[in-house]
Amino acid sequence: MELLEKVALVTGTRRIGRVVALTLADAGACLVLTYHRSKEVAEQTVQDVKGKGRKAMAIQADVSRADQVKAMVDHALAAFGRIDVLIHMAALYQEKALATLTEEDWDQNLDVNLKSAFLCAQAVVPVMRRQGGGRIITFADWLARSGRPRYKGFVPYYVSKYGVIGFTEALALELAEDNILVNCIAPGPILKPPDLSEEENREVLAATPLKRWGGEEEIAKAVLALITSEFITGECIRVDGGRHVL
């Protein structure tokens, strides 16, 4: 798919999402950016996209709620008349020991990380079908893609991201005849957390064959590759600097 004058809907526009949005604008896309709490970042990204000569808008939405997802898509269609690409990046990453996990914690992780992928895809699929095709890209985690947890304290997160991979594969099969290609990206060490200690940083680098953090641009490159491909669907691609091979 060529992106010139196409419309991409991106959920979760902080940090990596912002760079993805700007990369798609450089490729010619118009952007619909959704946010939950990061209004200033989303609005600044809209201005930056417009500065590149592309149309853009920001919409506040809780993508774990069906009514807000529907309103989000309706708003985007009213403004642009089409949606060609869905990039679902909104996620919850929360560390909590098993002994202290509550039912609310479990539901929140599954709702934000997995249910929202279903709701957003379900809302855009009829639009893409009418247009003759589209692209849907979800986000998992390199550990879930590798099929093994490595860190304690992330039970619902790991389960939800594992579910995203299964959802991506099943949806790809369902939508193949509609020329809607569905794929997943599983990031590894992309951005160093601001509170990471130097010792922890050394441990990450030692466990990564390429010995460095990837940077947001590596995710943007993967997104662009999956959008422009005409024959990749049902895949989950790790962007992890080789961590999974150790």
- CA of residue 148 relative to chain centroid, distance: 21
Q: Rounded CA gap, 62 and 116, in Å?
A: 9
C-alpha 73/C-alpha 236 separation (Å) is 25
Q: Where are the domains of the chain?
A: 7-245
DSSP single-letter state for residue 8 = E
Among 35, 93, 151, 157, the active-site one is: 157
Q: How many other CB atoms are found less than 10 A from the CB of residue 203?
A: 12
pLDDT tens digits, 59-79:
999 999 999 999 999 999 999
Q: What is the pLDDT of residues 190-209, one digit of tens each?
A: 999 888 999 999 999 999 99
Is 187 within 8 Å of 142 (Cβ atoms)? Answer: yes
Taking Cα atoms as reference points, which of 141, 29, 25 lies closest to residue 94?
141
Contact between 60 and 34 under an 8 Å Cβ cutoff? The reply is yes
The DSSP line for 1-25 is ---TT-EEEEE--STHHHHHHHHHH
Tens-digit pLDDT profile for residues 151-205: 999 999 999 999 999 999 999 999 999 999 999 999 999 999 888 999 999 999 9
Contacts 24+ apart (CB under 8 A), 65-71: 65/119, 66/119, 69/116, 69/119, 69/120, 69/123, 70/123
CATH number of 7-245: 3.40.50.720
Residue 38 has pLDDT above 90, yes or no: no
Helices of type H across 176-215: 198-206
List the strands of the sheet with 85-88, edge to edge: 56-60, 30-35, 7-11, 85-88, 134-139, 180-187, 236-239
Q: Are 222 and 185 in contact (CB under 8 A)?
A: yes
Residues of the chain above pLDDT 90, percent: 95
Instruction: Please tell me what DSSP assigns to residue 177.
Output: G
The pTM of this model reads: 0.97
Active-site residue flag, 157? yes
Phi, psi at residue 167, to the nearest 5°?
Answer: -60, -45
Burial-class residue 143 by CB neighbours within 10 Å (0-12, 13-18, 19+): buried
Residue 37 has a pLDDT of: 87
